[in-house]
Chain A
Amino acid sequence: MSEATMPAMAVDLGGIKMGNPINTASGTYGQGWQFEGFYDVGLLGAITTKGCSAEPWEGNPQPRMTDVFGGMMNSVGLQNPGVRSFVEECGEYLAHLQERGCQVICQVAGHSVGEYVRAVELFEELAPWAAGLEINISCPNIAQGGCAMGSTPEGASEVIAAVRPRTKRPLLVKMAPERVVEVARALEAAGADALTVINSIPAMAIDVHTRRSKLSRPTGGLSGPVLHNIALRMVWEAHRAVSLPICGVGGITSGEDAAEFILAGATAVSVGSQNLFEPASAPRILDELVDWVASQGVRDVNELIGAVEC
């Protein structure tokens, strides 16, 4: 494609200025550097790093992953070394990645309002390079916090109202796949800058021979193509309910999948499980998305956000 026909791909995700709409879903992308052997991560609009809490978390026992129809299930449980070790290990790389033009969004995890606040304070202190923070109030694999807080408008807004005064940086919220419209409205009122819709869906898989869960916990988070159309519907609902920009996530394997999210109202999209199955999928999806935007006869991808005709 010549530069004359190349559409403008830059988008603004709640104050995060992305060179193109492609982001990566937290938990499927390590801390970014794991993919540098496969392609130049600086090509992506943004990456979202693995959820990090104030203190280290060991995560859940094994097994943590199982294959299921149309995707996979995991029960990793937000294993992470804590913000301090995270920044020590890869802060320099992430600061440079930011300089290379890829926006670095750091995901924040917690079991309680106080833990989210503490983690945000640590990111403020130790990670001045971060383009934004994504508050994960929807992990299906932790006993406290996570889904329990993100599934109700009250719980969700309590977390965001508490962390909002601690940072001036763009604040994204990773939403649970439940009560999306009500929770989105509550998050907008509480001061969120953008919404990430959706996290993996709580699900179950049983080994019928042993009569045990295929994961170490009874349930886990379902991800992959199987949830694409559910996520798409939720992005469309959230987009109609609030004026916040949305990052659409759920089973993206192609530029066409990404395009559906943009038409449904997403400003950006995150590639998730496909990163794990096909390490170089994100730049391929970006190329396919650019081709689609050009094929629509528009000069700027922003003209297509929410452009679905229903």
Chain B
Amino acid sequence: MKIAGIEYPALAPVEAACHRARIAENRIVAEGIMRLTLECADLARALEPGQFVNVAVGGEPRQLARIPLSFVATQAQEGLVHIVYALLGPGTRRLARILEGEELDVLGPLGHGWRLDEGAARVLLVSGGTGTVPVYAAAVWCHRHGIAFDAVVGARHRELHWAVDRLRERTSGDVVVTTDDGSLGERGFATGPALRLMGERAYDLVLACGPEPLMQTVSARATELGIPCQVSMERTMACGFGACSTCAVKTTGGMKGACKAGPVFDAREVIW
């Protein structure tokens, strides 16, 4: 981007904007999990899997910063962005009370998403908790491009059943579920089945998002096996466009913002 007519090779302001997006749907899909569908043609066209938007909720004095939200899918032709979010605090609880038909101030597209390769033969997707949302967007991409994938989805409780059923519809591969309490699938963390699958099958790419111990373990194994691995780093952040330094990730190339250089990083770059 040129700034006042001059190109600065080292500087790249975000090419994001604040959009007024009408809420087409904002409803509960599982305990503590909401699905939010926004009508916004620009975002539906521009968002790539693994990117995010920053939503201003308004009306909640404990949430003045925007809320960074990942999306599960976009429908470019219909101009729809499908977001899934967890009720984690006053801001998301306020968002859950905003009615269909109202408008939201949505900043995006933000961040670098998954670097996806149409030549991949088989991909492993690993997620834990709300990390399932950006991973799901990668699954949608794989499905659209005819790429086979296996998925391991970890959750505390059975709240992610909505994702599991839909992932199974999108792949002939395995979708393994783990829950901390054993209420769905295997009891335990996603780490075990992910390592097991990496030992059993050949993958061209591993994508992971979830708790850092999960991503660290999975990416270490992928690196040992010589499989390219990308991780999406979750951080609290105030701006989403590189101005505040709150969401920094320590990398081999120095401190980098999860909002702009990430949230998706090459796993070899991250210093855990």
B-binding residues in A (CB < 8 A):
27-30, 33-38, 40, 42, 50, 56, 58-59, 62-72, 74, 76, 79, 81, 88-90, 92-93, 96, 100, 224-225, 273, 275-280
Contact = CB atoms under 8 A, between A and B. Distances in A.
Contact of B245 (A33, A63, A76): A76
B103 to A, nearest CB: 16
Given A37-B1, A273-B64, A279-B18, A58 B255 contact: yes
Contacts of A90: 8, 10-11
A276 B243 contact: yes
A257 B231 CA distance: 42
A70 B10 contact: no
A279 B241 contact: yes
Interface of B is mostly: loop
A90 B237 CA distance: 23
Contact of B3 (A33, A56, A79, A277): A33
A138 B18 CA distance: 33
Contact of A81 (B3, B17, B254): B254
Interface string B169-182: 00000000000000
Interface stretch (B37-45, B55-63, B202-210): B55-63
A79 B243 CA distance: 12
A97 to B, nearest CB: 8
Q: Which of B89, B91, B236, B244 has the most CB of A within 10 A?
A: B244
Contacts of A72: 64-65, 238
Nearest to A92: B8
A74 B246 contact: yes
A34 B65 contact: no
B68 to A, nearest CB: 11
B253 to A, nearest CB: 11
Contacts of B238: 65, 72, 74, 273, 276-277
Given A67-B63, A71-B64, A225-B64, A93 B245 contact: no
B239 interface: yes
30 contacts: A27-B244, A27-B245, A30-B243, A30-B244, A33-B11, A36-B4, A37-B14, A40-B4, A58-B255, A62-B236, A63-B235, A63-B236, A64-B236, A64-B245, A64-B247, A65-B244, A65-B246, A70-B61, A72-B238, A88-B10, A90-B10, A93-B3, A275-B239, A275-B243, A276-B243, A276-B244, A277-B66, A278-B56, A279-B239, A280-B18
Interface of B: 1, 3-4, 6, 8, 10-11, 13-18, 56, 61-66, 89-91, 107, 235-239, 241-248, 250, 254-255
B1 A36 contact: yes
Contacts of B3: 33, 36, 93, 96
Nearest to B14: A37
Nearest to B11: A33
Contact of A68 (B1, B62, B239): B62
A36 to B, nearest CB: 5
Given A65-B246, A65-B247, A33 B64 contact: no
A28 B238 CA distance: 9
Given A28-B244, A70-B64, A278-B56, 16 more contacts: A27-B244, A30-B243, A37-B1, A37-B15, A66-B236, A67-B65, A72-B65, A88-B10, A90-B10, A90-B11, A93-B8, A96-B6, A100-B4, A224-B64, A276-B244, A279-B241
B43 to A, nearest CB: 15
Contacts of A277: 56, 64-66, 238-239
Contacts of A58: 250, 255
Contacts of B8: 33, 90, 92-93
Given A36-B3, A59-B248, A67 B64 contact: yes
Q: Which of A37, A89, A224 has the most CB of B within 10 A?
A: A37
B111 to A, nearest CB: 14
Contacts of B242: 30, 34
B51 to A, nearest CB: 15
Contacts of A40: 4
Given A62-B248, A65-B247, A279-B18, A89 B11 contact: yes
Contacts of A275: 239, 243
Given A28-B244, A72-B64, A65 B13 contact: no
Contacts of B6: 93, 96
Contacts of B11: 33, 89-90, 93
A64 B248 contact: yes
A136 B65 CA distance: 25
A72 B238 CA distance: 8
Contacts of B247: 64-65
